[in-house]
């Protein structure tokens, strides 16, 4: 087995639960529910790959299989699903590890982390790179790969910076690494006009009268806003 490059992905597995039989959230589950599936659900409520995968509670829960997730992520009819997560050695197309999780993106990311760590503990395999789709491109996952595990991510970044309200998006701003700030594209660094700048500390400094219209476009209906620094992924 090569071990130089791994790929992570997940497949949805349909639960044995009728999509038309559900409760409106976990709180609506009957108190007298019994059975193996219910015991397993209670056992993984605090597991990051299941009940604790997301702070948002599922809107619909199956009384037959409460740990499954009601979703249409498969691209078809809404059903109750689980996810089977795979870690694959790219060079030899061999499945290195498998882990089950609930069918939400955060749980699949947690499963990928666990499989990478488990392959190192059990098989002594530590990949140089990880290949995955956008679902694994969150800042938390990328930081874990690069800074905590020294793994090169070949993962499209999860980018939500685009704006649909007429404001400038993040790509419109210039970042001055020496001065440690972003500059509004309609601003100027010289003269009496002070542009709106985003510092690395995260606070916005609004411009003076010459840039007021542009500043209001950059930050509509707000006098200040938080801005994340440009991500730097270095090994």
pLDDT in tens, 51-96: 777 788 888 888 888 888 888 866 677 889 999 999 999 999 999 9
Query: Is the per-residue pLDDT at 213 higher than 80?
Result: no
Please say which residue of 99, 126, 154 terminates a domain.
154
Same domain, 150 and 196: no
Last residue of a domain, one of 154, 182, 199: 154
Please say which residue of 120, 154, 188 terminates a domain: 154
Same domain, 140 and 40: yes
Residue reference for tokens 């993106």: 105
Question: β-strands 129-131, 5-14: how paired?
Answer: parallel
The percent helix, strand, coil of the chain (3-state, each to 5) is: 25, 20, 55
Instruction: Supply the range of the domain harboring residue 41.
Output: 5-154
Instruction: Specify whether 218 is located in the same domain as 112.
Output: no
Nearest to 175 by CA among 100, 218, 228: 228
> Given this model, what pLDDT does residue 181 score?
75
pLDDT tens readout for residues 16-57: 888 888 888 888 787 777 777 778 777 777 787 887 777 888
Domains in the chain, number: 2
Residues 209, 94, single domain; the answer is no
Are the C-beta atoms of 103 and 83 separated by less than 8 Å? Answer: yes
Residue 213 and residue 148 share a domain: no
Model-level pTM? 0.66
Could you report the per-residue pLDDT of 4-15, keeping only the tens digit for each? 899 999 999 988
- Best mean pLDDT range from 31-45, 93-107, 202-216: 93-107
136 and 227 belong to one structural domain: no
Q: Specify whether 149 is located in the same domain as 181.
A: no
Are 184 and 166 part of one and the same domain? yes
Supply the pLDDT for residue 220. Answer: 53
């Amino acid at each position: 087995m090569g071990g130089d490059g791994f790929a992570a992905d997940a497949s949805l597995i349909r639960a044995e639960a009728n999509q038309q039989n559900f409760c409106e959230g976990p709180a609506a589950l009957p108190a007298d529910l019994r059975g193996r599936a219910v015991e397993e659900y209670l056992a993984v409520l605090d597991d990051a790959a299941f009940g604790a995968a997301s702070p948002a509670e599922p809107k619909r829960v199956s009384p037959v299989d409460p740990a499954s997730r009601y979703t249409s992520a498969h691209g078809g009819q809404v059903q109750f699903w689980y996810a089977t997560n795979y870690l694959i050695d790219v060079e030899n197309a061999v499945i290195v590890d498998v882990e089950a999780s609930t069918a939400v993106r955060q749980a699949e990311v947690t499963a990928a982390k666990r499989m990478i760590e488990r392959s190192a503990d059990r098989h002594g395999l530590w990949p140089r790179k990880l290949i995955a789709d956008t679902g694994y491109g969150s800042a938390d996952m990328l930081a874990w790969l690069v800074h905590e595990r020294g793994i090169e991510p070949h993962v499209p970044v999860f980018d939500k910076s685009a704006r649909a309200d007429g404001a400038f998006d993040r790509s419109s701003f210039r970042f001055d690494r020496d001065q440690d700030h972003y500059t509004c594209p309609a601003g100027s660094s010289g003269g009496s006009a002070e542009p709106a700048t985003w510092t690395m500390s995260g606070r916005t400094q609004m411009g003076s009268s010459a840039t007021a219209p542009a500043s209001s476009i950059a930050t509509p209906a707000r006098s200040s806003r938080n801005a994340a620094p440009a991500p730097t992924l270095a090994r």
